[in-house]
Amino acid sequence: MATIYDLNDTVGASVTFAVASVATDPTAITFEARSPVTGTITSYVYGTDAELVKVSTGNYTVDIALSEPGRWWIRWEGTGTAAGSEQTYFDVDYDRVNQ
């Protein structure tokens, strides 16, 4: 069963890039999150935006403030060395007390 987060939770998203099962840094990394209500896309680039953090070789993380209810889609993309992409989503429940 998927985890359903509460409105205004902050969730850590992480990714591992690898070549032949060995954690490897891509040449460039982009992270995008699409909010469910407004459709706003927030984009972070490693080395430019402090929000996208390198944990160790090939491993990266970013915190997302889930400010809208619904399904948040996220996407990681690495280019060059260890090129690849991954996308997934987070479900966020409506605030049922303070409607």
Identify whether 38 is part of a domain: yes
Q: Looking at residue 58, what is its pLDDT?
A: 97
Structure token digits, residue 45: 């680039």
Q: Looking at residue 42, what is its pLDDT?
A: 97
Identify whether 14 is part of a domain: yes
Q: How confident is the model at residue 30 (pLDDT cuts 50, 70, 90)?
A: very high
**DSSP per position, the chain:** ---EEETT-EEEEEEE-EETTEE---SEEEEEEE-TTT--EEEEETTT-TTSEEEETTEEEEEEE--SSEEEEEEEEEESTT-EEEEEEEEEE--SS--
Identify whether 78 is part of a domain: yes
Residue 1 has pLDDT above 60, yes or no: no
Identify whether 39 is part of a domain: yes
Identify whether 98 is part of a domain: no
Domain that holds residue 83: 4-93
Domain count, the chain: 1
Q: What is the DSSP letter of 37?
A: T
Identify whether 99 is part of a domain: no
CATH of the domain at 14: 2.60.40.1930
What digits encode the pLDDT tens for the residues 34-90? 999 999 999 999 999 999 999 999 999 999 999 999 999 999 999 999 999 999 999
Identify whether 36 is part of a domain: yes
